[in-house]
């Protein structure tokens, strides 16, 4: 995916409940009289305080401890949520009594744990060492409304997942400093919507008969090897934190933001919270062996998806919106081999390839044109690939297409060749731009030459004019997020030296807009980008996506094997 210029900016404050959402998270209940709530409300201004705000003397749930599951508070809600009314009939008392009995014992088997779990305690310790005297609050995020009473598929916040391996919505990690100078970790989770309350069949959003079971508090503790407590206790736990010594990862869960800030009049919290977000990004810059293996898996699945797209080009050409067919082909591979796509797939054919992030994917696939495919599989452990190939739709480049492609390929290789420990993160960009600017000057598009355009003096009259045809940066970090570690400070990312274990993209491009009168007519509407995922090794680099062909000859041979007859 085309690299945006890295800026170390704070996350959104997110201090309010989103417009149209209720403080309880927008559950859609069947009955106006039922009061079962699975996601407890966090105490926010204007909301009715419920069991989430009550003190609890129950013992924490750990790997070896026993504790009860979350139970719903019958006074927590007065019925349907505003704006999410439905037309279901209210179950009568006899039906509710019938639904309360006749169920087999709950299966409390421990769910399979994510492979990252053996690494998470060390990660939490590293984060805690940055803030030895502070409490740290890191949420997973909640379900987000797509339309009316339909939610987007849930994907946990990357930082919470990196620290715990938890895939569930609404979870909140709290790290409390202890007398030993370390931190005690507690993960607050919603637990099951089991048969102990009617929520299992009345709550469309969390009820187990609607969306299936999720692990209980005990099972989560065992699977993630971390102390867990019911989410109903979170509000009280947050209220006990010292405002001046609490840092919250904001912008992930507005209910958590609201709750923490309600008890704090300390405006310096904004600065403290920005530093926490920066620290998390910076800790994730260097990948461990487990993370590198997961990225390799995601890249391999991505290569399979690209190959399958080539095999479907013929069918796509038969449709008025053939880009959608190729997008769907890749999405199927992502869902089979991984969790999902890591970002909105870009399938840009013809002049659509000149739009950097063409995610509408609704155009035709025409013979004689190029198809720019920028796609990545997000694996089951949530690490994503990010690969771009520009392909001739009929399997053969025209002479002009090949001329443009060769420039971008030489620029990319120049960028890749700079990747090594100790090199600057910006070195690939500088090397790639040297090649591109030189070619543009040779084509007469830079009247004062390449060096005048490459000048870093903003006062120079022609500085940067080559960027009209190659607007984006060349590299970004890659990992759990496609633009990974985005909150890291410039001195640790953009202006820093590369280290072994870092993974970055190298993805130059050339884009000649169809309405750009500064370029010859024959170039207008041509867009080319080539992107690979590069691991910094101890002695240089490894192209993780080298399994997909890059040279024109290799692309044509590969497509010849996979295009339909």
Q: Is the pLDDT of residue 77 over 80?
A: no
Q: Which residues contact residue 198 at a Cβ distance below 8 angstroms, ignoring those fewer than 6 apart? A: 34, 36, 96, 99, 100
Q: What is the DSSP letter of 190?
A: -
Q: Is the pLDDT of residue 465 over 70?
A: yes
**Residue 136: helix, strand or coil by DSSP?**
strand
Quote the pLDDT of residue 13. Answer: 39
Question: CATH topology of 51-283 equal to that of 289-444+470-562?
Answer: no
What confidence category does residue 209 fall into, taking pLDDT thresholds of 50, 70 and 90? very high
What are the tokens at 339?
Answer: 């969790």
Quote the pLDDT of residue 390. Answer: 99
Q: What is the pLDDT of residues 9-25, one digit of tens each?
A: 444 433 333 333 333 33
H or E stretch covering 120: helix 117-130
Quote the pLDDT of residue 524. Answer: 99
**Residue 559: helix, strand or coil by DSSP?**
helix
Largest Cα span, the chain: 85
Place of tokens 């640790």: 492
CA distance 1 to 529: 9
Report whether 234 contacts 40 (CB < 8 A).
yes
Residue 111: name the closest of 189, 7, 174, 210 by CA.
Answer: 189
Quote the pLDDT of residue 65. Answer: 36
Quote the pLDDT of residue 109. Answer: 73
Superfamily assignment of 51-283 in CATH?
Creatinase/prolidase N-terminal domain (3.40.350.10)
Quote the pLDDT of residue 194. Answer: 79
Q: What is the pLDDT of residues 329-364, one digit of tens each?
A: 999 999 999 999 999 999 999 999 999 999 999 999
What confidence category does residue 86 fall into, taking pLDDT thresholds of 50, 70 and 90? low
CA 402, distance to chain mean position in Å, is 34
Q: Which residues contact residue 316 at a Cβ distance below 8 angstroms, ignoring those fewer than 6 apart? A: 322, 323, 325, 326, 365
Number of H helices, E strands in the chain: 16, 17
Q: What residue spans define the domains of the chain?
A: 51-283, 289-444+470-562
Provide CATH code, domain 289-444+470-562: 3.90.230.10
What are the tokens at 39?
Answer: 């996601």
Q: Which residues contact residue 325 at a Cβ distance below 8 angstroms, ignoring those fewer than 6 apart? A: 312, 315, 316, 319, 365
What confidence category does residue 214 fall into, taking pLDDT thresholds of 50, 70 and 90? confident
What are the tokens at 107?
Answer: 């299966």
Higher pLDDT, 373 or 3: 373
**Residue 472: helix, strand or coil by DSSP?**
coil
Quote the pLDDT of residue 12. Answer: 41
Section 504-519 average pLDDT = 99
CA distance 315 to 325: 8
Residue 463: name the closest of 450, 474, 472, 445 by CA.
Answer: 450
Report whether 145 contacts 207 (CB < 8 A).
no
Q: Is the pLDDT of residue 38 over 50?
A: no
Window from 262-271, 429-438, 543-552 with minimum mean pLDDT: 262-271
Quote the pLDDT of residue 233. Answer: 96
């Amino acid at each position: 995916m085309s690299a945006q210029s890295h800026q170390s900016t704070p996350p959104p404050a997110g201090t309010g409940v989103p417009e149209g959402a209720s403080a309880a998270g927008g559950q859609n209940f069947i009955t106006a009289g039922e009061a079962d709530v699975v996601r407890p409300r966090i105490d926010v201004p204007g909301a009715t305080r419920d069991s989430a705000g009550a003190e609890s003397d129950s013992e924490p749930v750990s790997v070896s401890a026993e504790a009860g599951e979350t139970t719903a508070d019958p006074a927590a809600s007065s019925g349907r949520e505003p704006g999410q009314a439905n037309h279901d009939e209210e179950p009568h008392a006899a039906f509710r009594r019938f639904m309360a009995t006749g169920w087999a014992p709950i299966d409390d088997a421990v769910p399979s744990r994510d492979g990252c779990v053996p690494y998470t305690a060390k990660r939490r310790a590293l984060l805690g060492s940055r803030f030895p005297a502070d409490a740290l609050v890191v949420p997973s995020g909640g379900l987000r409304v797509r339309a009316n009473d339909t939610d987007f598929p849930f994907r946990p916040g990357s930082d919470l997942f990196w620290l715990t391996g938890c895939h569930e919505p609404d979870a909140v990690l709290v790290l409390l400093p202890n007398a030993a100078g370390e931190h005690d970790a507690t993960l607050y989770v919603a637990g099951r919507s089991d048969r102990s309350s009617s929520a299992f069949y009345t709550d469309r959003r969390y009820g187990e008969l609607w969306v299936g079971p999720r692990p209980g508090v005990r099972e989560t503790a065992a699977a993630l090897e971390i102390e867990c407590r019911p989410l109903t206790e979170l509000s009280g736990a947050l209220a006990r934190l010292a405002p001046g010594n609490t840092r919250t990862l904001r912008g992930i869960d507005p209910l958590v933001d609201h709750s923490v800030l309600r008890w704090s009049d300390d405006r310096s919290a904004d600065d403290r919270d920005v530093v926490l977000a920066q620290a998390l990004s910076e800790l994730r810059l260097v990948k461990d062996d487990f993370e590198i293996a997961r990225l390799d898996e995601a890249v391999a699945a991505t290569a399979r998806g690209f190959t399958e797209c080539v095999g479907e080009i013929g069918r796509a050409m038969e449709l008025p919106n053939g880009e959608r067919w190729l997008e769907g082909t890749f999405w199927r591979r992502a869902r089979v081999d991984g969790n999902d796509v890591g970002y909105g797939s870009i399938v840009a054919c013809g002049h659509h390839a000149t739009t950097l992030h063409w995610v509408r994917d609704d155009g035709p696939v025409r013979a004689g044109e190029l198809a720019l495919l920028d796609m990545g599989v997000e694996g089951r452990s949530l690490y994503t690939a990010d690969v771009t190939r520009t392909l001739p739709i009929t399997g053969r480049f025209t002479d002009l297409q090949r001329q443009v492609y060769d420039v971008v390929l030489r620029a990319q290789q120049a960028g890749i060749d700079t990747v090594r420990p100790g090199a600057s993160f910006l070195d690939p960009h500088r090397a790639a731009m040297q090649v591109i600017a030189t070619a543009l000057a040779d084509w007469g598009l830079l009247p004062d030459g390449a060096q005048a355009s490459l000048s870093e003096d903003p006062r120079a009259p022609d500085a940067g004019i080559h960027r009209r045809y190659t607007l984006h940066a060349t590299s970004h970090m890659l990992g759990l997020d496609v633009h990974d570690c985005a909150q890291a400070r410039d001195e640790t990312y953009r202006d820093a030296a590369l280290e072994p274990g870092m993974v970055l993209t190298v993805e130059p491009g050339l884009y000649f807009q169809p309405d750009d009168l500064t370029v010859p007519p024959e170039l207008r509407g041509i867009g080319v980008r080539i992107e690979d995922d590069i691991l910094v090794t101890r002695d240089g680099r490894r192209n993780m996506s080298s399994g997909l062909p890059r040279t024109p000859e290799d692309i044509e041979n590969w497509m010849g094997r996979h295009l339909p007859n």
